[in-house]
Amino acid sequence: MTKNPQPIRLGVISFAHGHVSAYCRVIADFADAEVVAAWDDDAERGQRAAADFGLEWAPDLDTLLARDDIDAAFVASPTNRHAEHVIAAAEAGKHVLLQKPMALTLADCDAIIDAVERAGVKFSMCYQMRCDPVNRKMKALVESGAIGNIAVARRRHAIPMLLNEEWAVPGNWHIDPVQNMGMFMDDASHAADWFYWMLGRPVSVMAEIDNIVTDAAPDDNGVAIYRFAGGQIGILFNSSTQLAAEATTEIYGDAGAIQQNYGDLPASLLPADGAPLKLFRAGADDWERFDFPIVPQRARIESVPRPLVDYLTGEAPPLATAAEGRVCVEMILGAYQSAREGRRVSFAPA
The parent domain of residue 167 ranges over 129-296+330-346
- Where among 78, 98, 121 does a domain terminate? 121
Q: Is pLDDT above 90 for 266?
A: no
Question: Stretch 132-153: mean pLDDT, rounded?
Answer: 97
pTM listed for this prediction: 0.95
| CA–CA separation, 333 and 26 (whole Å) | 33
Q: What is the CATH number of the domain that holds 254?
A: 3.30.360.10
Q: Average of pLDDT values for 316-332?
A: 98
Using the predicted structure, report yes or no on whether residue 267 has a pLDDT greater than 90. no
Nearest CA to 15 among 55, 68, 72? Answer: 55
**328 pLDDT band (50/70/90 cuts)?**
very high
What is the widest separation between alpha-carbon atoms in the chain?
A: 65
Residue 191 near residue 100 (C-beta atoms within 8 A): no
Phi, psi of 112 (to 5 degrees): -65, -45
- Kindly state the DSSP code that residue 175 receives in the 8-state scheme: G
The pLDDT assigned to 6 comes to 87
Q: Calculate the dihedral angle through the C-alpha atoms of 154, 159, 22, 307, rounding to the nearest 10 degrees.
A: 0
Helix (H, G, I), strand (E, B) or coil at 63: helix
Q: What's phi and psi for 259, nearest 5 deg? A: -130, 130
- Angle formed by the axes of helices 322-341 and 183-199, to 10°? 120
State which of 77, 93, 121 marks the end of a domain: 121
pLDDT at position 294 is 78
Q: Report which of 52, 42, 38, 126 is spatially closest to residue 89, judged by C-alpha positions.
A: 38
Q: What is the mean pLDDT of residues 132-140?
A: 95
- pLDDT tens figures, 75-128: 999 999 999 999 999 999 999 999 999 999 999 999 999 999 999 999 999 999
- Counting the structural domains of the chain, the total is 2
pLDDT of 2 strictly over 70: no
The verdict on 174 and 283 lying in the same domain is yes
Whether 208 and 291 share a structural domain: yes
Residues 13-23, mean pLDDT to the nearest whole number: 97
20 has a pLDDT exceeding 60 = yes
The reported pLDDT for the residue numbered 1 is 41
What DSSP assignment string belongs to 210-250? Answer: E-SS--SSS-SEEEEEEEETTS-EEEEEEESS-----EEEE
Instruction: Tell me the per-residue pLDDT of 168-187, one tens digit each, with 9 for 90 and over.
Output: 999 999 999 999 999 999 99
